[in-house]
Amino acid sequence: MKKIKTATLEKPASDIRDFSPATAFILLSLLFLCFTRLKTGFVLPETVVMKLVFSVAFGFLAIRAVHRWRCSPYRWVSAAGFVLPLVLMAQTFPAGQQDSVLIKTYKSIKLGMATGDFENSSTLGYGEGCDRVSNTQYFRQQYTLAGAAFEFTRQKPALYEQFTFGTKTIFGQHRETRISDLYEENTVLFGITPYAAYDTKWVGFGGGLHLGNLTMITENLSSEGSAVPETGRREIKGLPQFFVRVGPRKWIFAEYRYADWFPSALPGYRQQFAVGTGLGMDNGTNLRFGFNTNDISLVSGTFPIQNRVVIEPMLLWGKSPNWESENTRTQFSLSVSYRFGHRETTVKK
């Protein structure tokens, strides 16, 4: 008799659903212990390097998880697995009540620049299924701008509270080139933005309003229509900005930003989803890892120097949506702040 061969099914690859809340709790616990137990036994350079390695590794892991959460029906359960350990690890016994609180205030002058050179697409289509007809155009977006801001900051260090408000202005140029026929449109950018932000230990939020002659680069849109797309951007006279943060900046946090960045999130990176860590420091240092839209990755940092100068770089990169193009999408911004007028006062509660 002939032997019958039986096929064996290979074990499916690991899915994001396997990344359980328990796994997230273990990873966050290791990161927490790394930050809290590395204060002794190592010199400062060794401590900084080890914290940086742990933070970068966890940052890339978080980016990968967030990308897969967007396609997973269990993404909210998995996200809760990250947030819940943060809440559990931060439970501490309240300190004794004090009759007074220390308030610190200072002013800041901020200068910055941003530039970008990348491609996006716009598609209009009509019909259903196999009968659908689509027209796609690709556009090259190039911009350069500079910004300046003046802001006030009020802190209550013992309560982990900070309130900031100010105004910024930007000036620059945006060029869009339609790749199919090399048609160019140039726009002079200028605007003013009043804004305010409130931060506590566990949450932070803020907002503002962009006013002026501004542009907004659209994502790789696919809309209903029978015409041929003529542009991959929009000209705007006003647009709100806001951000929200969850988690302690000192350890690890997650945030979402809409048109919120200095010197400007417009025209290039209107939305930001990121996770970050303060490397266990209380002076405002942090590293952020995340993505914009259309799988554009980002990394940024905030680096204070003796509580006087603050440097904030950010880099975004990704592939072009046009498979015929070898152009890498890149955007970069850099800002420098100078703090002055430091004052300390003690007030009764």
pLDDT in tens, the chain (349 residues): 444 444 444 444 444 444 455 555 565 666 666 555 554 555 555 555 556 655 666 666 666 665 555 555 544 445 555 555 444 444 444 444 566 889 999 999 999 999 999 998 988 888 887 878 888 999 999 999 999 999 999 999 988 899 999 999 999 999 999 999 999 999 999 999 999 999 999 999 999 999 999 999 988 777 777 788 889 999 999 999 999 999 999 999 999 999 999 999 999 988 999 999 999 998 889 999 998 876 689 999 999 998 899 999 999 998 888 877 776 789 999 999 999 999 999 887 6
**E strand spans, the chain:** 100-126, 133-156, 161-178, 183-199, 203-217, 221-224, 233-246, 253-258, 271-277, 286-291, 297-305, 309-319, 328-348
Token representation of residue 300? 């940024």
Q: What is the Cα gyration radius of the chain?
A: 24
Please give the Cα distance from 285 to 336 (Å, whole number): 14
Q: Is 37 exposed, middle or buried (0-12, 13-18, 19+ CB in 10 A)?
A: exposed
Alpha carbons 281 and 312: distance in angstroms, whole number: 16
In terms of Cβ atoms closer than 10 Å to its own Cβ (0-12, 13-18, 19+), residue 151 is buried
Q: Is the dihedral of CA 318, 192, 253, 46 positive or negative?
A: positive
Query: Contact at 8 Å (CB) between 299 and 331?
Result: no
CB neighbour class for 164 (10 Å; exposed up to 12, middle 13-18, buried from 19): middle
Report the alpha-carbon distance of residue 99 to residue 142 in Å, rounded: 56
In the chain, the amino acid numbered 20 is S
Tell me the C-alpha distance between 99 and 90, whole Å. 24
Backbone angles phi, psi at 98, to 5 degrees: -115, 150
The correct answer on CATH 2.40.128 for the domain covering 102-348 is yes
| CA 329 – CA 266 distance, rounded (Å) | 16
Q: How far is Cα 132 from Cα 127, in angstroms, rounded to an integer?
A: 4
pLDDT of residue 56: 60
Q: How far is CA 169 from CA 17, 45, 129, 152, 207, in A?
A: 45, 38, 48, 16, 15
- Look at residue 307 and give its three-state secondary structure: coil
Most distant CA pair in the chain: distance in Å?
Answer: 95
- Give this prediction's pTM: 0.71
Alpha-carbon distance 231 to 282, whole Å? 45
